[in-house]
Copies of this chain bind each other. A is one copy, B any other.
Amino acid sequence: MFKHVDYLQFQARPEKPDAFFAAKLQELIGGQYGEMTVMMQYLWQGWSCRVPGKYKDMIMDIATEEIGHVEMLTTMLARLLEAGPNETTEKAAAANPVLAAVLGGQNPQHAIVAGGGPMPTNSQGVPWNGGYIVASGNLLADFRSNVAAEAQSRLQTSRIYNMTDDTGVKDMLQFNLARDTYHQQQWLLGIEQLLDDGFIDAPIENSNMAEEKAEQRRTFYSFDPESTAGEGRWANGHSLLGEELVYVPDAQPLTDDKPIGPAPDPKLFVTYAGDMGKGTPGTAGGAYASGMKNVAKKVKDALDG
């Protein structure tokens, strides 16, 4: 169960409105790595976590914090949209070339749909969707996803940080940058903890490990004759599992199996060349196949003119 406190975790006070920057800021709300994603991803992982105690509590704590981050960003967005240029275009732009850029670059849904507020979409207007969430129940795999999400999220925040001079906006983003720095580490330290607690014995997902092909577990295949990929750490020395790494230049197929399907069910009218020969009844959806030979003949006559 959740509770709400009617104050922001950290202040969201822009110096002045900026509808154009607001359009960009949407990426941090409803983008692939916006705050909606980490909020929902951590809630989902917390609810799916089967390890009560410090792991589950940690995930639920950060999930709860992230709901508040969406709150901070939506508040910031509404304030950036104050007195947005919702007038008729021509008059406004004629008077002010700066406004012309703003007009062109602002998000029309901010006015039309949201009445001067945030949208649950990215910076191009695409709605956030549940396909962004990662929650497998396997803490190693999910912590890896979380490190990645915080890294991408921080990078985007950092890029957007450089797109404004507003000290109020920058102040809040400095808080967000710091949280992403901490959270990246939180998940990496979480992997350390999983190793310490004996939940995993390697920092990579390795279920059913005894079943996998041993050779392909340590081999880099190159598919370009001029590739220099063999010079990298990934092709030299030992793997994280202690096995010697192998580099295979100009890799060849490991089988003579060709990518072709079996003869199809005639009822599906798939074109094929089976042992009944080409053009056999049922193979290509022809009139002939249906026993309509006279119609087929008419067709041929018609085509022949």
A21 with B89: CB separation less than 8 A: yes
Interface string of A82-117 (1 = CB under 8 A from B): 111011111011100111111111111101111111
Task: Give Cα distance in the complex from A54 to B128, angstroms.
Answer: 30
A116 with B265: CB separation less than 8 A: yes
B159 with A268: CB separation less than 8 A: yes
Task: Give Cα distance in the complex from A131 to B198, angstroms.
Answer: 35
A217 with B182: CB separation less than 8 A: yes
**Residues in chain B near residue A241, CB distance under 8 A:** 181, 185, 295, 298-299, 302
Contacting A228 at CB < 8 Å: which of B53, B158, B196, B231? B53
**Residues in chain B near residue A301, CB distance under 8 A:** 242
A126 with B123: CB separation less than 8 A: no
Interface string of A1-37 (1 = CB under 8 A from B): 1111111111111000010110110010011100010
Say whether A276 faces chain B, with CB atoms less than 8 Å apart: no
CB-CB under 8 A for A269 and B302, given A7-B255, A7-B256, A226-B6: no
CB within 8 Å of B: which A170-198 residues: 170, 174-175, 177-182, 184-186, 188-190, 192-198
**Residues in chain B near residue A181, CB distance under 8 A:** 204, 206, 209, 212, 217, 241
Interface size class of A (residues with CB under 8 A): 35 or more
Contacting A27 at CB < 8 Å: which of B88, B109, B158, B190? B109
- Give the residue name and chain of the B residue nearest to A207 (CB): B285
Interface string of A214-225 (1 = CB under 8 A from B): 111111111111
A220 with B104: CB separation less than 8 A: no
- Give the residue name and chain of the B residue nearest to A5 (CB): B1
Contacting A159 at CB < 8 Å: which of B50, B115, B126, B212? B115
Chain B: minimal CB distance from A60 (Å): 5
Contacting A290 at CB < 8 Å: which of B84, B208, B259, B267? B208
Chain B: minimal CB distance from A138 (Å): 5
CB-CB under 8 A for A78 and B243, given A3-B2, A3-B3, A4-B223: no
**Residues in chain B near residue A224, CB distance under 8 A:** 3-6, 57, 60-61, 64
**Residues in chain B near residue A87, CB distance under 8 A:** 163
B117 with A257: CB separation less than 8 A: no
Q: Would you list 19 pairs from A and B whose C-beta atoms are within 8 A, ordered by A residue?
A: A1-B4, A6-B227, A12-B257, A27-B112, A51-B272, A61-B229, A83-B262, A86-B267, A93-B98, A101-B103, A117-B261, A121-B124, A136-B156, A137-B268, A144-B144, A177-B211, A186-B234, A188-B204, A193-B234
